[in-house]
Copies of this chain bind each other. A is one copy, B any other.
């Protein structure tokens, strides 16, 4: 057998500790360091693993307010609007979606005043027909990356 689940197991291990050494990963999965190294290189080249980041608690850094923006956009202006949102660094996620609204975006702000200012400056765009802002009261789960299924 050629370790078809190794990649999934590798990713799951890294999800619990993204700075684990290749050796510890090898020990954990009963596989040689070389094999871990090869698979990881492949996963990175394929783009399955796009990089590594620390998980930062923005609350603790003073970004106390998270908001969900929903926008209705004039059809032809959609690319412009999403691009503009993408460039706002505090926009954590920006989605084009089906349904009542065309765009859903999630942003983080230092306080409600800062939030109001930034949102207002975004909404001045003439192509935004309607908008709706929900402030997050409690982030039950945020950007949780889930484990992959490993079939035996």
Interface residues of A (CB under 8 A from B): 11, 14-19, 46-57, 60-61, 66, 68, 82-83, 85-86, 89-101, 104, 106, 108, 132-148
What is the copy number of this chain in the assembly? 2
Report the bound CA distance from A100 to B70 in whole Å. 12
Report the bound CA distance from A150 to B67 in whole Å. 24
Report the bound CA distance from A93 to B148 in whole Å. 17
Would you give 16 A-B contacts (Cβ < 8 Å), ordered by A? A11-B54, A15-B56, A17-B52, A18-B19, A18-B53, A49-B56, A68-B95, A92-B145, A92-B146, A93-B144, A94-B140, A95-B142, A97-B134, A97-B137, A99-B133, A104-B134
- Determine if A146 and B54 form an interchain contact, defined as CB atoms under 8 angstroms apart: no
- 8 smallest CB-CB distances across A and B, nearest first, come from A18-B52, A99-B134, A97-B134, A94-B140, A96-B138, A89-B146, A50-B55, A94-B141
- Determine if B104 and A68 form an interchain contact, defined as CB atoms under 8 angstroms apart: yes
